[in-house]
Structure 1
Amino acid sequence: MKTDRAFPFTIVIGDDAGESTRIPDGYRHIYLDYGNHLCVREELFSYVKNLFKDKENIDLTFGWQDILAEAKIEEKVEDITAAYRKQKEEDEKFTKVLAELNQNPEYRRRILENKDGIEGMLAVLKEFSGIEMDFLELKQFGLRQQGIL
């Protein structure tokens, strides 16, 4: 893909002047080795990626269908999708709250003057928004915003 870096001894098909692989909107890809990629709906990506995390490359390349079948993913699609959409909705609300807070000079002053690290920042967040969150939740939010989770 255009956004991927080519490593030494990599064969690149297509370039800026030609056609390159494109992943459809709403999908992400998982590299399966030997140049193979599995396109997965965005809602299912984390779940599938987690299923594959401890598998050998050879098992992924030639057995990804069996791995998904053994996990009975077809029975879980609706629940996984609903949980993903709920989390995305909550993240969008939190993003709006943060944008509003960042317009508040008193909030910004308190954050900048904070001497208690992340715990102090989270306390200021709670005071100004009523949102109670721990470091892990904030970190996961940040990773989701970056598309890592």
Structure 2
Amino acid sequence: MLVVIFSFVIACSYSKTNEKERLLEVVNEYWNAVVKADWDTAYEYEYPLLKKLVSRETYVFRRGNPMAHIVGYEIGDVFFKKPDEAIVNLKLRVKLVVPGNSKPAEIILSVKDRWYKIKNKWYHVPRKVPKGGRG
């Protein structure tokens, strides 16, 4: 009986570690695309509801903000709220173009990044799902 319980505990621990590694891989792919301003790739990782509300063309247009550009990121702690829902703490390095200033300002933002797993695939969940149609 003790062997069965021990095996179950090890299997659960391995599964959670494996899932965290899978999530971190996807998080890195998403944020690398954002840093490169590869909005087509980033769009593929977005939550399906966002894709129903916002066309790829509108997403690319809205994300291409020349006033602010994410130039780097650092992944912090990962918290699983449920097996299919996670929060990833990030520090984003953002360059801001300040009107009247020739040199962009750089700031660090701390962000709680939400991710949901649907049909065994992780998706980035925006802080706000845009209202309106496909744009």
Fold agreement, TM-score > 0.5: no
Larger radius of gyration: 1
Normalising to structure 1: TM-score of the pair?
A: 0.28
Q: Whose strand proportion is higher, 1 or 2?
A: 2
Normalising to structure 2: TM-score of the pair?
A: 0.30
